[in-house]
Structure 1
Amino acid sequence: MEKRFYALLLVFLSTTLFAQEIIKDTVKPIQIPKSKQKIDGIVATVGDYLVLDSDIDKSFLELTSTRNSIDGITRCQMIGKLLEERLYAHQAVQDSIVVSDAEINGTLEEKLSVMIEQIGSMDKLVKFFKKNSEEELRSTFFDVLKMSRLASEMQKKIVEKVEITPEEVRNYFKSIPKADLPVFGDEVEVAQIVIKPKISDEEKQKVIDKLKELKRDVINGSSFFSKAVLYSQDPGSKSNGGYYKMNRKTPFVKEFKDVAFSLNEGEISEPFETEFGYHIILVEKIRGQEVDLRHILLIPKVSDEALKEAKDEITEIRKRILAGDITFGDAARASSDEKETKNNGGQLVNPRTLDTRFDLTKMDPSLYSQVSNLKQGEISVPFLDTDQTQKKMYKIITVTNRIPSHTADYAQDFLKIKDLALKEKQFKAIAKWTNEKIKETFIKINGEYRDCLFESNWLKK
């Protein structure tokens, strides 16, 4: 029974965010004996937010669930992390940072659905978490999710204007003792050619007709949320009822944004096409330059014949490259169906670092399986792949460069060093902000936790 409770709790905790990584040397390790039994009371107050003794236990549980070691992490250190999170959330409210209730409710519904599936019913879930009603359970979970999201948005606001100059990067690198320079692992640069199967007009019309049918159902009283959960093929929003919050700077494709910002509140679009498939959008709320919306994505089916034609085409391209009739880069520019890479000769960009290098130890497993055994300049055989929306396509991949493991070099690894320098500057900005806000915020720490030696002046001594 206890294991089942932990499994359910982790489903919920998986959405909460640690505002900071726990740094083990931030406080003097003062262990509170585990054998001491406590009543779940208030151990700290930050502005309008409380820290309960059980919150500390749940945070340890969350770390364990993500396979992080908790060795050497004390309850003092953990409460320091929770105090930070609540300070961020409190200040977010003071700074009028808006977190949409619709967005929180979408996340809440997703988590509740998973937990109900595990335990069997809402009534059992209410009983499990020792609440008096479904309403109380939802309210409790909603508050926790909202606090976590507010904390996250506040932290983003603190660091969003932190920038770093080349001179600061150079000084940061020079400040690192030679013996302490980071070592970067084996890396590769990769290019690919993508051939997407052609979709028939008949299949396109089928999804357009289906979207029109779903729109009529919603106009006649059906729930857009439920329709999105049942039918949408967008894995990023399906479980949230198709929900997105966006503004004009949000990195959505142009066609999607154009439709979203052309609608009034409560209006549903006609079916329209993007590179991902066909959509309808419902605008729920307009707040200045931001909109809360829901959408349904349907992807036309690809026939077996179209798949075969795509495979034959990419096989022929590979033969021409191997025969020396055309280079890989020129073939990508001439024939690849992936617009993000074709103009750069098929060269992939690492989404984590925004450069062309991929650390083999951190590479996406599906990409790693394709390139790990390829020699530089070797071309893979054609293989079937899918994108994030499960669209099928054929690819060939080549390794354009292999960079062996090496100690950091300023010229060769400038972008990585810049990222490290920026993170250090952001960390200092957060620490400065934290110390300033502690002075002007009501903070009270109770009982034995007043014996903790925090790096930040939580006790205002």
Structure 2
Amino acid sequence: MRIQEMKKTFGLIAALLLISLAQVNAQNTVPGTQKSLDKVVAVIGSSIILQSEIDMQYAQYLSQGNPDNADVRCEILQGLISQKILGQQAIIDSIAVTEDDIDNEIDRRLRSSIARAGGQERLEEFLGRSLIQYKDEIRPDIKEMLIANKMQGKITENVAVTPLEVRRYFEAIPKDSLPFFNTEVEVGEIVIHPEMNDLEKEAFRDRAEALRLRIKGGEDFATLARLYSQDPGSAREGGELGFVDRTSLVKEFAAVAFKLKPGELSQVVETEFGFHVIQLIERRGEQVNVRHILIKTEAVPASLVRAKAQIDSIYNNVLNKKIVFGTAASLYSDNNDTKYNGGMMLNAENVQSRTTFIPSDKLDPAVFLTVDTMKVGTISQPSLFTAPDGKTGYRILYLKSKTGPHQANLEQDYPKIKEVAFEDKTNRTISEWFEKRRKITYIKIDSEFQTCSEISTWTTAQN
């Protein structure tokens, strides 16, 4: 019975072990309550969980616009208990993480928080401390979270499902509970973006250089950025990006930005986005705040002609079976999101599973209009299109499969059913592991949380 009660543990761990960046001081309680001395709310083996840990995560939950909900506190505590148990087992199994792993995770989270807050200064104002100080404060929690995640990965690393297990899982589903699937397709693409030579790029470089000279001559950088920069995200801010680290910038841009002195103006810099003029505002350690003006390169007629000739050649070779579509996509396509998958598009709503089955109503409308009239196994003629990032190019589409509306069955939906069966087996594996550790781990819970249904499963005989 306990295993069934604990089955949702796995899902909660996946969400709650990813500790959110705390947005309040550890000694403060949730907004609206009075300050109180920190207390121990749980003892897990040799570890403790403090009230402030729960308060911090609950404050993050509230800051995202969620309503007050006492059950969330219970879920937070359950996630922390899980993390402590995983961490203690990780020590026994000699599982560790590197300092680089911790630094990268902290930087990733801070980049996200800086973006949400509208800049580093606003985030620091909200936190009431510098990011350098804050990094030191959250470092132990991030380390513990990474170790727990790694331990969880070890527990489930050998989980697999056989075809027989998939069949048994499917047959155990009540017939009236089987899901209904709308029309789904598998679509591949080969994309060719026009490449310009140095002579064709010269006009765009000259525009950037002219702006650089105007700034050098005394005109205001921010004003020119608002008027002429083609980076919509920063143009309205006078070209200012806010504090970012190297990993947030393309390498050519970062190489120049981190060499500039405050107030210094760069030469024209070329990246995959076009030509930039950069000025350093301030540097703080391994972060810089810069402003820039971007002049995008746009395909000229001659470059489009060359791209059309290239994709026509690929089209003919695939059509005449001189090369298979997937190989051609891997070798020639300019879309890095699909080329390493044999050109096949992934379901954007289910990225983790990497499924190539896409509901037809979730396809890009332009793609849907093309493949809707195609036969399975055929390719479309090359057509001109504009990518979401604004780049123009030519594209060939391949309709690998098309499945009409139907109720789930093994013949048509084996990959989906296998995925769900695998997830179910993973859930059971982690739940059984926790059940064993629960029986041999001293767990004491404060009376305030004893009424939580999630927490009652964790009590042990020692209590």
SS in 2 for 1:438: helix
Q: Distance in 2 between matches of 1:134 and 1:165?
A: 49
The alpha-carbon deviation at position 413 of structure 1 amounts to 0.9
Distance 2:75 2:245 in 1: 43
Q: Which residue does the alignment assign to 2:450?
A: 450
Greater mean deviation of Cα atoms: 404-413 or 38-47? 38-47
Does 2:37 align with 1:43? no
TM-score relative to the length of structure 2: 0.58
- Aligned partners of 1:120, 1:346: CA distance in 2, in Å? 37
Instruction: Read off the aligned partner of 1:383 and give its amino acid letter.
Output: F
User: Which of 101, 111, 128 is matched with 1:103 structurally?
Assistant: 101
For residues 291-310 of structure 1, the aligned pairs below 5 Å read 304=300, 305-310=302-307
CA distance in 2, matches of 1:89, 1:74: 22
Q: CA 1:331/1:83 → structure 2, altered by over 3 Å: closer, same or farther?
A: closer
SS in 2 for 1:51: strand
SS in 2 for 1:460: coil
Instruction: Give 1 or 2: higher helix fraction.
Output: 2
Q: Say if 2:160 is the partner of 1:166.
A: no
* Structure 1 residues 391 and 54, CA gap change in structure 2 (3 angstroms): farther
2:368 corresponding residue in structure 1: 372
Contact 1:191/1:348 (CA < 8 Å) preserved in 2? yes
Shift, 1:18, TM fit: 5.4
Query: Structure 1 residue 232 and structure 2 residue 251: aligned?
Result: yes
**Equivalent position SS for 1:372:** helix
Kindly provide the amino acid, as one letter, of the partner of residue 107 in structure 2: E
Unaligned runs of 5+ in 2: 1-10, 17-30, 201-243, 259-296
Q: Is the 8 A contact 1:43 1:445 kept in 2?
A: yes
For 1:404 and 1:58, locate their aligned partners in 2 and report how far apart those are by CA, in whole Å: 48
| Residue range with higher mean Cα deviation, 399-408 or 147-156 | 399-408
**2:178 aligned residue (168, 181, 187):** 181
Q: Secondary structure at the match of 1:43?
A: strand
* Partners of 1:120 and 1:317 in 2: CA distance: 45
Deviations 1:24-57 (A, max 9, x none): xxxxxxxxxx987673533223345443334434
Q: Show the counterpart of 1:246.
A: none
Residues 329, 346 of structure 1: 8 Å contact kept: no
SS at match of 1:412: helix
Aligned to 1:383: 385
| Higher deviation after alignment, 161-170 or 58-67 | 58-67
Matches of 1:193 and 1:98, distance apart in 2: 42
Q: Deviation of residue 96 (structure 1)? A: 1.5
Identity of aligned residues (%): 29
Q: Distance in 2 between matches of 1:120 and 1:21?
A: 26
Shift of 1:424: 0.8
Cα 1:397–1:125 change in 2 (3 A) is: closer
What does residue 416 of structure 2 align with? Answer: 416
- Alpha-carbon shift at residue 190 of structure 1 (Å): 0.7
Q: Contact 2:71–2:452 at 8 Å: present in 1 too?
A: no
C-alpha deviation, 1:62, in angstroms: 5.2
In 2: Cα distance, 1:231 partner to 1:457 partner: 49
Output one character per residue of 1:308-343: Cα deviation in whole Å (capped at 9) or x when no partner.
41144336766x79xxx9479968479651499889
Give the letter for the 2:384 counterpart: P
Contact kept in structure 1, 2:58 and 2:72, CA below 8 Å: no
The number of equivalent residue pairs is 339
Is the contact between residue 449 and residue 455 of structure 2 (CA under 8 Å) also seen in structure 1?
no
Please state whether the residue corresponding to 2:191 is helix, strand or coil: strand
Displacement after TM superposition at 1:109 (Å): 3.4
Matches of 2:404 and 2:421 in 1, distance apart?
A: 23
| SS of residue in 2 equivalent to 1:162 | coil
Other structure's SS at 1:413 match = helix
Residue 232 of structure 1 aligns with an amino acid whose one-letter code is K
CA distance in 1, matches of 2:368, 2:81: 44
Aligned residue among 186, 191, 195 for 1:194: 191
The answer (yes or no) to whether the contact 1:185–1:359 under 8 Å persists in 2 is yes
- Residue in 2 that maps onto 1:19: 13
Who wins on radius of gyration, i.e. which is larger? 2
- The residue that corresponds to 2:92 in the other structure is 94
Show the counterpart of 1:245: none
RMSD over aligned Cα, in angstroms? 4.8
- Please name the residue that 2:212 is paired with: none
Tell me by how many angstroms 1:101 deviates: 1.2
Which letter maps to 2:144? M
The residue number in structure 1 matching 2:432 is 432
Residue 76, structure 1, aligned to residue 74, structure 2: yes
Residue segments in structure 1 that go unaligned for 5+ positions in a row: 1-16, 23-33, 204-224, 242-300
Aligned AA (1:99): V
1:376 and 1:49 map into 2 onto residues whose CA distance is 62
Work out whether residues 183 and 406 of structure 1, in 8 Å CA contact, stay in contact via their aligned partners in 2: yes
Match of 1:260 in 2: none
Q: Distance in 1 between matches of 2:185 and 2:250?
A: 39
Cα distance, 1:160 vs. partner?
0.8
For the 8 Å contact 1:377–1:400, the answer to whether it is kept is no
Deviation, 1:228, is: 5.7
Task: From the superposition, tell whether residues 326 and 108 of structure 1 become closer, same or farther in structure 2 (CA, over 3 Å).
Answer: closer
Alpha carbons of structure 1 residues 134 and 166: separation in structure 2 relative to 1, 3 Å: closer
Cα 1:313/1:155, change in 2 over 3 Å: same
In the TM superposition, what whole-angstrom CA distance separates every residue of 1:43-89 from its partner, at most 9, and x where no partner exists?
22334544333443444555577788987945333322332233223
Cα distance in 1 for partners of 2:167, 2:54 equals 40
Inter-partner Cα distance in structure 2 for 1:115 and 1:95? 33
Aligned to 2:459: 459
